[in-house]
Amino acid sequence: MDEEEIKYFVRIRNTDLDGTKSVHIALTGIKGIGPHTSRTITALAGVDPRAVLGKLDDGSVERIAEAVETYIEQVPVWMVNRPKDIYTGEARHLLGTDLTMANDDDVNRMRKMRSYRGIRHETGQKVRGQRTKSSGRTGTTVGVSRKRG
């Protein structure tokens, strides 16, 4: 491949990644991979994290794809995004649509059991204990209503 030639899209794990970005930034385009995980994947694949993804040879891209697929076997449990799956009890690292579906299932399970968090999700309110009196307001009403009289 010519030095100036660049692939603008690199497909890894059913996701088109931006080939003009560096490897560790481009990998964060996959849902479920953040900055820390992408650095770990580049180290496992033996690729320079600052190299431009579109200029890498096919072998390097294959090594990155393989590192993404085998990530769960190569890292400790605390580095995965689902350390204890609710159904199987095993550690998993979900990516892409699997992560979205698992998140939706979790929210639906909370709604079904009528937990506090499930009810907050249902009503569209803040879930994690934030204040709601003055912030987080939605809708067209602005300002404070004043008593007439």
**Tens digit of each residue's pLDDT (9 = 90 or more) over 86-124:** 999 999 999 999 999 999 999 999 999 999 999 999 999
Question: Domain end: 76, 111, 134, which one?
Answer: 76
Average pLDDT over every residue of 132-145: 77
Q: How many domains does the structure of the chain reveal?
A: 2
24 and 71 part of one domain: yes
pLDDT of residue 26: 96
Q: What's the CA gap between 43 and 36, in Å, rounded? A: 11
pTM of whole model > 0.75?
A: yes
* Rounded distance between C-alpha atoms, residue 42 and residue 24, angstroms: 7
Helices (H), the chain: 23-26, 35-45, 58-69, 71-74, 97-112, 116-123
Position 5 pLDDT exceeds 90: no
The pLDDT of residue 65: 96
Span 45-61, mean pLDDT? 95
- List beta partners, residue 82: 92
Residue 44 has pLDDT above 80, yes or no: yes
62 and 84, same domain (yes or no): no
